[in-house]
Amino acid sequence: MRMQSVLEKLGLTDENAGVFDGEWRGGGVKIDKISPIDGRRLASVRTASDDDYNSAVSRAHEAFVKWRVTPGPVRGETVRRLGNALRELKHELGQLVTLETGKIIAEGEGEVQEMIDICDFAVGQSRMLYGLTIQSERPSHRLMEQWHPLGVVAVVTAFNFPVAVWSWNAALAAVCGDATVWKPSEKTPLTAIAVTKIAERVCRETGADPAIFTLLVGDRKTVGQKLADDPRIPLVSATGSVNMGLHVAKNVHGRLGRTIMELGGNNALIVTPSADLDMAVQSIFFGAVGTAGQRCTSTRRVIMHESVASKVRERLLAGYESLSIGNPLDRKTVMGPLIDRHAVDMVQDSVQRLKNEGGEVLYGGERLTVPGGAFGGENQTGGGRESGSDCWKTYMRRQTNTINFSSELPLAQGIQFGAGEGSGTA
């Protein structure tokens, strides 16, 4: 499918508004999105201004106030329809992910499938926002746990998973009764706009206020820093570098807000003497080249028992020698470009540092010359998860109610009012 057809099918034009809160606009600077595949300009985006930020967060809060009293299963219906709308446009949205990030088409479509899957998960969760019934030490008392919507949730996403991470947060937040404000990476604004247009259409079909899925494309100063500092936002979910995470956590926790963090990784695979070497090599190899090594889960290190080290090394070298690098829209390609030339420079700097410290490059290590393309980590990782298990509770606030169905009112620590000379009640 031609690039222009993909953009048109997803409602994108040559110049696109980067702010949505029920209405589309953008009073900030205009940015051009260049594809890492061949250096072509895909489209332009008008980013958020300071005024856009303030009005968008206010609108998201207005939408939250109405959305939080909508029954959970009804909220789930909107998310169910969102999943179906993504199914209908999986191919086109997957291609846009590839055009904008450079990841291979199987990964682009796979990322959209992750969005669909989490919508299915969230729909079921919408009927299971359970609270506990707890035994009390007092006679004729019962404790009952309730979960209430939290508020406006900020979702800050990175370029390497430009749409899946939003859905992991937004689908769960939506069924929990929250509104979300999405700040996508400035490197991948078009996928964010396309997804928000899909969400807008679904909301208008179901009668939900589309501002529950608010979008703010902008830089750190205009959007990112403000989200971290804004007391109207009780939860910030952020994906990115460790340095970014440290900064966001300090600001959000400094105002007693909550955070979910997905940061960098220094991941190691361990190969033991009893390992299935074919399986191990395949895992190591794709873990390293998937998304051109730009994942928080990318293979960074391999720790091998000396009895299998030479065999694993030989098989890995054979894999790299036959690795198909090229246009990620070609389904035969295994690895596409890095996101931009700055990313290539960072890889080259890391290779040089390795050499300076006595390391040896066994294969490759040089910049590839491909017209227009950018072909070519962090050391900590966050412990946050956006969805799965009972992570839905992160998007809600817990309240425990005490129910007294007796005619007595016993007080804590045995305190009694009105007992003894000179005592009284106020």
State the pairing for strand pair 267-271/41-46: unpaired
Exposure on the CB side of residue 122, measured as CA atoms within 13 A: 33
Burial class (CB in 10 A: 0-12, 13-18, 19+), 279: exposed
User: By the 8 A CB rule, do 45 and 216 touch?
Assistant: no
User: By the 8 A CB rule, do 71 and 128 touch?
Assistant: no
State the pairing for strand pair 267-271/299-304: parallel
Q: Would you say how long the chain is, in residues?
A: 426
Structure tokens at 168: 């992991």
Catalytic residue list: 262, 296
Burial class (CB in 10 A: 0-12, 13-18, 19+), 420: exposed
User: By the 8 A CB rule, do 392 and 176 touch?
Assistant: yes
Burial class (CB in 10 A: 0-12, 13-18, 19+), 148: middle
Distance of CA 121 to the CA centre of its chain: 16
CB-based contacts of 245, cutoff 8 Å, min separation 6: 238, 261, 263, 382
Among the listed residues 119, 124, 109, the one whose alpha carbon sits nearest the alpha carbon of residue 84: 119
Burial class (CB in 10 A: 0-12, 13-18, 19+), 263: buried
User: By the 8 A CB rule, do 17 and 28 touch?
Assistant: no
Give the CA-trace dihedral at 81, 113, 258, 52, to 10 degrees: -70
